[in-house]
């Protein structure tokens, strides 16, 4: 299992969300799941976690997103980073 994580400030979450749901770049087409997080102090700052079955699939999803140019619309962003889970601790 692998993920990519990215952060963007979307300026208007409600206007941005339908475009995210459409997944024009196909970044999530092979994904197992995704989660959206919003900053409680700035609800237009969005953190996106996308889960894939393998590192190769996560890399391919990240590349589709980057190559689409869709992130170029956002000045305030962190590019997608492919990660693997290091540890889970439940309390």
pLDDT, one tens digit per residue, over 28-77 is 999 999 999 999 999 999 999 999 999 999 999 999 999 999 999 999 99
> For the residues 84-88, what does the mean pLDDT come to?
94
Give the pLDDT confidence score for residue 30 in this predicted structure: 96
Give the pLDDT confidence score for residue 89 in this predicted structure: 96
What pTM, to 2 d.p., does this model score? Answer: 0.93
Q: Which structure tokens are listed for 23?
A: 């997944």
Give the pLDDT confidence score for residue 36 in this predicted structure: 98
> For the residues 16-34, what does the mean pLDDT come to?
97
Distance CA 27, CA 38 (A): 20
State the DSSP H helix or E strand holding residue 82, giving kind and residue range, or none if neither. Answer: strand 77-83
Query: Please, what are the domains in the chain?
Result: 2-83 (3.30.70.100)
Beta strands in 27-66 (DSSP E): 33-38, 45-52
């Amino acid at each position: 299992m692998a993920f990519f994580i990215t952060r963007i400030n979307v300026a208007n979450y409600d206007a941005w969300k339908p475009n995210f749901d459409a997944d024009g770049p196909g970044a999530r087409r092979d994904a197992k799941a995704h989660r959206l997080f919003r900053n409680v102090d700035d609800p237009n700052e969005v953190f996106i976690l996308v889960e894939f079955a393998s590192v190769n699939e996560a890399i391919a999803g990240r590349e589709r997103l980057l190559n689409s140019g869709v992130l170029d619309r956002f000045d305030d962003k962190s590019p997608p980073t492919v990660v693997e889970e290091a540890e889970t601790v439940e309390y």
